[in-house]
Amino acid sequence: MKDASKDGARSFWEEMSTNIASWFQGLDPKAYAVHNGLTDFGREVILEMNRLGMLIDVSHVSDKTMADAIAASKAPVFASHSSCRALSNIPRNVTDDQIRAIAKSGGVVMVNVSTLFLSQASVDAYLASRAAADVEVKEAETRYKDDPKTRDAEVARIKKKVHYPDADWKAVVDHMEHVMKVGGPQSVGIGTDYDGIEDPPTGLEDVSFSRATLRITAKPSTPSPPRLNRSCENGMRNSAHHPSLSRRDTTSQTASQLSSLFESLNQ
C-alpha cells in the first residue's frame, strides 16, 4: 500500500486482487459461512490429508469450517497466518475458543503481522474511512452515470483516500502473548504473511528484522518467557510425527530441517 500521508497512514484499493479488502467482506464473520462448514466429502479430504501427512491449515476458512476441520482431523491443525480476534475483531483472526481447540489438537496459531490483523484502532479507522468513501462513491456514480470514464476515474480517486494508521511492532508481541495465555506457550508461532500483506507494522516492515526480534514472546516484565521459535517448531513437529500420519521420509526430513532452522535462530 502507498503512504497517504507522512504519518504512515495507508491508502486502499479494492481493485487489487491481493488487497485486504477482498478478504474482509464487510468484516462480518457470517459472510464467510457460505457452505455451512465441511461437507461429508470435505471430511473425507481431511482424513486423506492426514493419511498423506499433509498439514491442515485453517487460516482462510469460516468459523464453522474451522470447527468441522478440527473435529474431523486425526492430526494437529494449525492456523498459518492468523492473529487474535480478541485484540482485532476481523473474521480472519481466531477466537479464544478456536485458539484453545487448535492448541488441544497439538497445533499452533501463527501470528499474522498485517496491521488490520493486529490493531482494533486501525480496523475502526478503516471502517470509518471506508464508510465516508462509500458515500462519496455513490454520489460520484450518480453524478457521472452518463460518463463512465470520468465516473471510474473519480471512484478510483475516492477509494485511494481510504486509510488507517499503522500498528506498532509491539502489537505482534501482544498477540503472541494472548495466544500463549489462552492456548499455552507451545501453541504460538510466527506466520507474518509478508508475501500476502501490504500493511506491516512499524518496526517489522519486512523480513530483515533481527534474530532478537524473532525471539520476543513476552514483555520484559514477564519472567522467563518461553521461546517462540521452539514452540513453533514443536507444533510443526507434532503435525509431522503424529501417530495418525504416514511416516514418510519427506515428512521426517522436513521436520528435521525445521528443527535445524529454529535451533540456529535460538543460538
**Are 232 and 189 within 8 A, CB to CB?**
yes
The three three-digit cell numbers of residue 151, written as one number? 465516473
Please give the pLDDT value at position 33. Answer: 75
Report the topology of domain 33-113+184-194+221-265: TIM Barrel (3.20.20)
Please give the pLDDT value at position 206. Answer: 84
User: CB-based contacts of 195: which residues, under 8 Å, 6+ apart?
Assistant: none
**Longest C-alpha distance within the chain, in Å?**
66
Please give the pLDDT value at position 57. Answer: 96
**Per-residue pLDDT of the chain in tens (267 residues, 90 and over written 9):** 334 333 333 433 233 223 333 434 557 777 777 788 999 999 999 999 999 999 999 999 999 999 999 999 999 999 999 999 999 999 999 999 999 999 999 999 999 999 999 999 999 999 999 889 989 999 999 999 999 999 999 999 998 898 999 999 999 999 999 999 999 999 999 999 999 898 999 988 887 765 545 555 444 444 444 444 444 444 444 444 455 444 334 334 444 444 454 444 444
**Nearest-CA neighbor of 231 among 199, 197, 194, 186?**
186
Please give the pLDDT value at position 153. Answer: 95
How far is the C-alpha of 239 from the C-alpha of 178, rounded, in Å?
A: 22
The three three-digit cell numbers of residue 76, written as one number? 494437529
- Check the CA dihedral 15-20-23-26 and report its sign: negative
- What 8-state DSSP symbol labels residue 204? -
Half-sphere exposure of 234 (CA within 13 A, CB side): 16
**Are 125 and 165 within 8 A, CB to CB?**
yes
The three three-digit cell numbers of residue 207, written as one number? 523480513
- Check the CA dihedral 29-32-34-40 and report its sign: negative
The domain spans of the chain are 33-113+184-194+221-265
